[in-house]
Chain A
């Protein structure tokens, strides 16, 4: 140390420091220079986060708190991940219309780009599940029969045999899965929105999720063909009984009235 301190007044000391500083800067530059593109991405990312933060401040902060820490009106969003945001906002559940046992699905009010920005902001608050890519929930390589079995094992208790939905306690309910975007079904399984338990990949593997989505597509979507005719809401015996009483017995009684009215009565004089 003495040597260094003795030479610090050397006429070349300033030059050495300057060289060292230059080397450092150059080295650092060299280290970061190839990350040219990444830097741009990062900028876009931080731009999205910034934009998301603005949207968040307007649409979400009143309940979830200005930093996503949660308030008495809404849970903390730290660590829920982008998938949760994409599901809740992408199905119109958020922003919530009013507090209640459960927030219903309604008209989506943000564009997908805005949803992505919100998701980016919320993801930046803490690590969580990301929005799944399309190959995760696409129909390729899915086994709908296996999915049916998994569905009946894990989902039918609340969502009914074919995902028509069902009641839970005190006004809560499992919504119908009819015509829900496969991406949203995947996200719901992953994040467990509202009253639903979550099914992370350790519980239901990616392949399992894919199978379930394929099954729902086969039995409960717009292109599902019901071989028996009208499905009567797919609700089982309650709607069948109502239909049988009104149209079945009602039809028979209407015919009976008609037959009884057409009788060979003696003509009244």
Chain B
């Protein structure tokens, strides 16, 4: 567009001002060719592909509202006396951080609404990431080439947890102070380095006078900066890999069927941003979140019952609450297993899900690219594993709120804790078995539907008196969708004895792999999908079916 050759035929008059400005900019930035190549990018349409958008938009909302809050928040632990407009705090001593949060809530115009939007958006952001991650997991969208992007997403979730935690700690109220103390206890439980890390982080003994200022820069600068970079990387990779799609007529592993980015997706996505903003703002206008004025300023000598972290840290809280308070003494050093073991499990539990794509591709030996999504039922072992993981997570969430569960369901807190302890080990196993059975049942139903059609519910009486139910055959599209998935064979070790009768050495990892692979693709884990011959035989009209 910017070349002289293109401009030559338009010699009749000057181009409109807008076009000239655009032309000037394009000559220097080269946006047009970039845009031309990418604006027609196709995105498939499915509501579950918009879960990531919910996260992106709530993240943007968090940044926007967060900027407003920084204008009024004082990240200082200097002690001041409160004389603002909230009566039940009059004359109380508190840190400047807490006082400025009270001021934001009561004396800054729109402050409370912005604070609540910020906090609700954070809760929804993390919940959205969790669900988005589960969508990607259960549909197998993490497979090659998207493993790195899965890790980016996982990192965003973990960083989101810690950004949320540092933000929750900033107002220096009694609830968050208890949470910070809890975290400091967890840090202290780490053998050898724990005390050093704690002293370094808090600039001395807890609570000291530094942690609010330090958490502030971590919360508003360090972590969000990394997250923003990861979000951009995440989006670039989505763009580069192109979006996955569900199986369907005309959809292959090599194409993307959907709508172009411009204008359809831009309009939809832009509109969706405002809808998400609207939902969050409405929630923030209706329900209060973290009412620090009724919680009170933090003092290390005070503590309240029912002190929980925000939901995304709830399962870590649950691990500590469920763990028996064991400790051992070793050469005069105390090892607090009651806190350290949960801390280790916390890390391992998250690592399992992060590394799952690599584990699966190793087990199945599948190194090909996948752009067509699995239906969860067609990957029963993966689905069952995912459900087992979510079950363990949810049981620990119950553990994190064991006191609230106890009081509200009139149970004994000890009984709830024991339920959580047993459930953490038994629940995933039960969930795994049940989910796998359900998946296989659904596969059988799909096969049944393909071969015999849909049960119409119409009962027909034949001339000789027999009653049959009329089955309606499926449409060609439905037949395609139900049979599009590939069925794999499990990896075999191969013959262990060669033609000369010499025994080959089989590595132990290979044996393990073959065993696991059988659990993925063995006859126990998939119902053979109907073959063309089966279908033809049944639909050829020999007798009723």
Interface residues of A (CB under 8 A from B): 101, 144-149, 152-153, 156-162, 164-171, 173-174, 215, 218-219, 226-232, 234-245, 247-249, 251-253, 255-257, 259-261, 263-265
Query: In the complex the two chains form, is B50's CB within 8 Å of A256's CB?
Result: yes
For B300-340 the 0/1 string (1 means CB < 8 A from A) is 01111111111100100000000000000000000000000
Q: Which of B4-12, B84-92, B347-355, B365-373 contacts A (4 or more CB under 8 A)?
A: B84-92
Chain A residues with CB under 8 Å of B268's CB are 259, 263
Given contacts A249-B128, A264-B264, contact A167 B305 (CB under 8 A): yes
Return the chain B residue nearest A159 by Cβ.
B305
CB distance from A34 to the nearest CB of B (A): 51
Given contacts A227-B112, A245-B127, A248-B279, contact A167 B413 (CB under 8 A): yes
Q: Is B222 an interface residue (CB 8 A)?
A: no
CB distance from B499 to the nearest CB of A (A): 58
Query: In the complex the two chains form, is A259's CB within 8 Å of B296's CB?
Result: no
A158 and B304 CA atoms in complex are apart in Å by: 7
Q: Is B78 an interface residue (CB 8 A)?
A: no
Q: Which of B13-21, B189-197, B282-290 contacts A (4 or more CB under 8 A)?
A: B282-290
Query: In the complex the two chains form, is A148's CB within 8 Å of B92's CB?
Result: yes
For B394-413 the 0/1 string (1 means CB < 8 A from A) is 00000011111011001111
CB distance from B276 to the nearest CB of A (A): 5
Q: Which of A157, A160, A230 has its CB near the most chain B CB atoms (within 10 A)?
A: A160
Query: In the complex the two chains form, is B287's CB within 8 Å of A232's CB?
Result: yes
Q: Is the interface of A mostly helix, strand, loop or mixed?
A: helix
Chain B residues with CB under 8 Å of A160's CB are 304-306
Query: In the complex the two chains form, is A251's CB within 8 Å of B283's CB?
Result: yes
CB distance from B508 to the nearest CB of A (A): 44
Q: Is B51 an interface residue (CB 8 A)?
A: yes
Query: In the complex the two chains form, is A252's CB within 8 Å of B287's CB?
Result: no
Chain A residues with CB under 8 Å of B116's CB are 228-229
Partner of B290, one of A168, A219, A240, A252: A240
Chain B residues with CB under 8 Å of A265's CB are 45
Query: In the complex the two chains form, is B124's CB within 8 Å of A161's CB?
Result: no
Query: In the complex the two chains form, is B288's CB within 8 Å of A152's CB?
Result: no
Q: Is the interface of B mostly helix, strand, loop or mixed?
A: helix
Chain A residues with CB under 8 Å of B124's CB are 244, 248-249, 252
Query: In the complex the two chains form, is B259's CB within 8 Å of A162's CB?
Result: no
Chain B residues with CB under 8 Å of A147's CB are 88
Q: Which of B50, B90, B272, B287 has its CB near the most chain A CB atoms (within 10 A)?
A: B287
A1 and B112 CA atoms in complex are apart in Å by: 97
Q: Is B174 an interface residue (CB 8 A)?
A: yes
CB distance from B58 to the nearest CB of A (A): 8
Given contacts A227-B112, A240-B290, contact A249 B311 (CB under 8 A): no
Chain A residues with CB under 8 Å of B410's CB are 171
CB distance from A48 to the nearest CB of B (A): 37
CB distance from B390 to the nearest CB of A (A): 13
A159 and B294 CA atoms in complex are apart in Å by: 13
A162 and B306 CA atoms in complex are apart in Å by: 11
A259 and B264 CA atoms in complex are apart in Å by: 12
Given contacts A148-B89, A228-B291, A234-B294, contact A166 B306 (CB under 8 A): yes
Q: Is B240 an interface residue (CB 8 A)?
A: no
Q: Which of B280, B293, B407 has its CB near the most chain A CB atoms (within 10 A)?
A: B407
Chain B residues with CB under 8 Å of A251's CB are 279, 282-283
A-B contact pairs, 20 of them (CB 8 A): A146-B91, A148-B89, A157-B305, A160-B304, A167-B305, A171-B413, A174-B305, A226-B291, A227-B288, A227-B293, A228-B289, A230-B288, A234-B294, A238-B306, A238-B308, A241-B311, A244-B123, A245-B311, A256-B47, A260-B50
Query: In the complex the two chains form, is B287's CB within 8 Å of A253's CB?
Result: no
Given contacts A152-B174, A215-B88, contact A244 B127 (CB under 8 A): yes
Chain B residues with CB under 8 Å of A152's CB are 174, 296, 299, 302, 304
A159 and B175 CA atoms in complex are apart in Å by: 14
A178 and B256 CA atoms in complex are apart in Å by: 58
Chain B residues with CB under 8 Å of A241's CB are 123, 310-311, 314
CB distance from A186 to the nearest CB of B (A): 19
A104 and B400 CA atoms in complex are apart in Å by: 25
Query: In the complex the two chains form, is A228's CB within 8 Å of B287's CB?
Result: yes
Query: In the complex the two chains form, is A244's CB within 8 Å of B272's CB?
Result: no
Query: In the complex the two chains form, is B413's CB within 8 Å of A255's CB?
Result: no
Known pairs A238-B314, A244-B311, A248-B120 / 12 extra A-B pairs, C-beta < 8 Å: A145-B91, A167-B403, A171-B414, A173-B406, A227-B288, A240-B289, A245-B127, A248-B127, A252-B54, A252-B276, A256-B272, A260-B45
Chain B residues with CB under 8 Å of A249's CB are 54, 124, 127-128, 131
Q: Is B275 an interface residue (CB 8 A)?
A: yes
CB distance from B413 to the nearest CB of A (A): 4
Query: In the complex the two chains form, is B288's CB within 8 Å of A244's CB?
Result: no
Partner of B283, one of A165, A248, A257: A248
Query: In the complex the two chains form, is B304's CB within 8 Å of A240's CB?
Result: no
Chain B residues with CB under 8 Å of A169's CB are 412-414
Chain B residues with CB under 8 Å of A167's CB are 305, 402-404, 406-407, 413
Return the chain B residue nearest A263 by Cβ.
B45
CB distance from B277 to the nearest CB of A (A): 10
Query: In the complex the two chains form, is A256's CB within 8 Å of B54's CB?
Result: yes
Partner of B301, one of A153, A158, A255: A153
Return the chain A residue nearest B307 by Cβ.
A236
CB distance from B391 to the nearest CB of A (A): 16
Query: In the complex the two chains form, is A218's CB within 8 Å of B88's CB?
Result: yes
Return the chain B residue nearest A240 by Cβ.
B289
Q: Is B507 an interface residue (CB 8 A)?
A: no
Query: In the complex the two chains form, is B294's CB within 8 Å of A162's CB?
Result: yes
A101 and B89 CA atoms in complex are apart in Å by: 36
A250 and B49 CA atoms in complex are apart in Å by: 15
A166 and B303 CA atoms in complex are apart in Å by: 13
Chain A residues with CB under 8 Å of B296's CB are 148-149, 152, 161
A171 and B405 CA atoms in complex are apart in Å by: 11
Chain B residues with CB under 8 Å of A174's CB are 305
CB distance from A219 to the nearest CB of B (A): 5
A152 and B296 CA atoms in complex are apart in Å by: 8
Partner of A101, one of B280, B294, B412: B412
Query: In the complex the two chains form, is B401's CB within 8 Å of A161's CB?
Result: no
Return the chain A residue nearest B305 by Cβ.
A166
Chain B residues with CB under 8 Å of A238's CB are 306, 308, 311, 314, 400-401, 404
Chain A residues with CB under 8 Å of B244's CB are none
Q: Is B106 an interface residue (CB 8 A)?
A: yes
CB distance from B180 to the nearest CB of A (A): 14
Q: Is B544 an interface residue (CB 8 A)?
A: no
Q: Is B295 an interface residue (CB 8 A)?
A: yes
